[in-house]
Structure 1
Amino acid sequence: MLHRLIAPVLASAIALPAVALDLGAMTEAERELFRAEVRAYLMDNPQVIMDAVQVLQTREAEAKARADLDLVADNTDELFNDGYSWVGGNPDGDIVLVEFLDYRCGYCRRAHDEVAQLLETDGNIKLIVKEFPILGEQSVLASRWAVATKQVAGDDAYKDMNDALMTFPGDFTVPALRRVAETFGLDADAIEARMDAPEVTEEINKTRALAQKMQITGTPTFVMQDELLRGYLPLDAMLALVDNKRS
């Protein structure tokens, strides 16, 4: 790898014949000369290695960004029009933000208030929430409860439940979730009965399959318009991205 990174620089710097840079074609004497020249050059110019590594990292990051753009383009319908994910903010907004979340994820909890501020500050953003429980059985339980709430009591009830679960201080258990539901005047018996329904399982499994196709392994993960954003983003960064998308 080192030879691949610095060979072009060394070729001009030490004026070796082009054929000499093919290590397999060198004689033993040429290889020893090359090694000595490499060592001498790097000792005099150690920054060359760091410069070459930085170029390689930049190219890899650019390639990853291009690949992520392709992932979004290839899964547009499932991201933005799956027919079951909760939609908030402005349904007719000119910017669409998708969030894959887990209720036990600390960064999801941190992002929750900032996403709410983003929607309130801008007023022209459509939010789509994807239930993506990946942090154990309690995460699955909470997501099943949230999806069941939406299917039993509708979108407004889901929004209340989503907010409550993101700030819930204890362990997720059925008795605890029932108490949350009752706080909002919801039918806890009906929600509990719905939790293990095939329709709830199907929704969560579809989101998991979508995440797998998009190589999403952590939460929160966002998609803003055509861009895949892996990890937590503070409010100012999200606002800057919105401005960038509009421009």
Structure 2
Amino acid sequence: MIRKYLKSNAVGLLLAGSTALSAQAFDLSAMTEAEEVEFGEAVRAYLLENPEVIMEAVAILQEREAQQEVARDVDLVAGNLDALHNDGFSWQGGNPDGDITIVEFLDYRCGYCKRAHPEVASLLAEDGNIRLIVKEYPILGEESVLASRFAIAVKQLHGDDAYKLAQDALMAMRGNVNEASLTRIAGEFGHDMAAIATQMNSEDVSDVIRDTRLLGQRMQISGTPSFVIGDHLLRGFLPQAGMQEIIADQRDNG
């Protein structure tokens, strides 16, 4: 890429300083070995005199790669939109008729997910026109899987409001996720932990985790938190102000 970029800048220098090269010789595939050597020496001299050209070329390359990545992400969102918005099992909050939908992939053992949790809550409280969909995406080990199984089981047994309370408690937890800590959370909300434990090991819960993992793989999501905001795929934590900027841009271009 850099050589192609430099080629046009070196043309004037080569034509001015060389009688051996013709305009046709700038077809690299048509150059003789001697012409290739002369061209290389001319480019090297040009770069030594103008080193800022390298940084300019790198910046252009990085910008093009970023644009290509955004375009790929838009295609990923469009190709998986039904699974993102209508899987039939993911918890939904905020305004169900909101003009912007945020889909959050989270892991309860993820420190950045814990940081994002109050930011998302504040965003929903301030903007009443957002729908939030939560995807249980445990990727950080067995404790992550245990926490997600607990949350999903609570939702399946006790409904959406109970799930939200369990989710908040799991996000606030700072210790290990184990039978004792989950039993404590269940007791705080008056749930029977034995029934929850049975549901945690059910195929219904396993199906939710499996299907969400397959969706995450199709979306090329390898870390948490990850967000889909409109058609924008955000991999990683972003403070509330940053999310508000993306939402404003989505609304302006919607």
Shorter-chain TM-score bucket reads: over 0.9
Q: Give TM-score scaled by structure 2 length.
A: 0.93
Percent identity between matched residues is 55
- 1:149-168 to structure 2, matched below 5 A, reads 149-168=154-173
Shift of 1:24: 4.1
Q: Aligned residue for 1:35?
A: 40
Q: How many residues align?
A: 247
Q: Distance in 2 between matches of 1:177 and 1:241?
A: 36
Partner of 2:245: 240
Q: CA deviation at 1:13?
A: 4.7
Matched, 1:135 2:129: no
Equivalence for 1:10 = 10
Q: Which residue of 1 aligns with 2:101?
A: 96
For 1:137-172, what per-residue CA distance to the aligned partner results, in whole angstroms no more than 9, with x for missing partners?
A: 110111011101100111111000111111101011
Residue of structure 2 in register with 1:178 after alignment = 183
Query: SS in structure 2 opposite 1:130?
Result: strand
Deviation at 1:17, TM superposition (A): 4.1
The Cα offsets for residues 116-138 of structure 1, whole Å up to 9 and x where unpaired, read as 00000111111000000000111
* Gapped regions of structure 2 (runs ≥ 5): 16-20
Q: For residue 111 of structure 2, what is the aligned residue in structure 1? A: 106
Pairing partner for 2:228 from 223, 229, 233: 223
Q: Which moved more, 1:46-55 or 1:237-246?
A: 237-246
Give the secondary structure class of the aligned counterpart of 1:170: coil
- Report the CA distance between 1:89 and its aligned residue: 1.0
Judge conservation of contact 2:169–2:185 (CA < 8 Å) in 1: yes
Kindly provide the amino acid, as one letter, of the partner of residue 243 in structure 1: A
Q: Deviations over 1:30-71 (max 9, x none)?
A: 122112111110011101111111111111110110111011
1:123 maps to 2:128: yes
Q: Which letter does structure 2 place at the counterpart of 1:146?
A: A
Match of 2:18 in 1: none
SS of aligned partner of 1:217: coil
3-state SS of the aligned residue for 2:227? strand
- Which TM-score applies when normalising by structure 1? 0.95
**Cα distance in 2 for residues equivalent to 1:137 and 1:94:** 36
- Residue 12 of structure 1: how far off its partner (Å): 4.3
What SS is found at the alignment partner of 1:201? helix
> What is the alpha-carbon distance in structure 2 between the residues aligned to residue 113 and residue 198 of structure 1?
32
Q: How far did 1:23 drift?
A: 3.8
Q: Aligned to 1:92, what secondary structure does the other structure show?
A: coil
Q: Which runs of 5+ in 1 are unaligned?
A: none
Partners of 1:177 and 1:13 lie apart in 2 by: 73
Distance in 1 between the 2:139 and 2:4 partners? Answer: 39
